[in-house]
Amino acid sequence: MAKVYAPLFGFGASGKIGKALVYFTWKGIDVVRSWVIPANPKSADQTTQRGYWTSAVAEWHAAGYTAGDRTAWNMLASVATKVMTGFNRMIKAFVDEIILGNVWERIYAGSTSDVTSASFVAICHKAAGGNAPICYYGTSKTALTSSVILDTAGGDTWQNLIEGLSANTIYYFTFIVGTPETDYGRAGIYSQKTSAA
Question: Considering the chain, what is the average pLDDT of its residues?
Answer: 88
Query: Considering the entire predicted model, what is its pTM?
Result: 0.78
Q: Which residues of 171-189 are buried (b: 16+ CB within 10 A; e: fewer)?
A: bbbbbbbbeeeebbbbbbb
Q: How far apart are CA 185 and CA 96, in angstroms?
A: 11
Q: How far apart are CA 155 and CA 34, in angstroms?
A: 59
- 124-139 tens-digit pLDDT: 999 888 889 999 999 9
- 164-178 tens-digit pLDDT: 999 999 999 999 998
In CATH, the number for domain 44-193 is 2.60.40.10
Look at phi and psi of residue 155 and say left if phi exceeds 0, alpha if psi is from -120 to 50, else beta: left
Residue with the larger pLDDT of the pair 116 and 82: 116
Residue 176 amino acid letter: I
- 45-88 tens-digit pLDDT: 888 889 999 999 999 999 989 999 999 999 999 998 888 999 99
Q: What is the structure's pLDDT at 116?
A: 96
- Show me where the domains of the chain are located: 3-34, 44-193
Task: Decide: 123 and 151 in contact? Cβ < 8 Å.
Answer: no
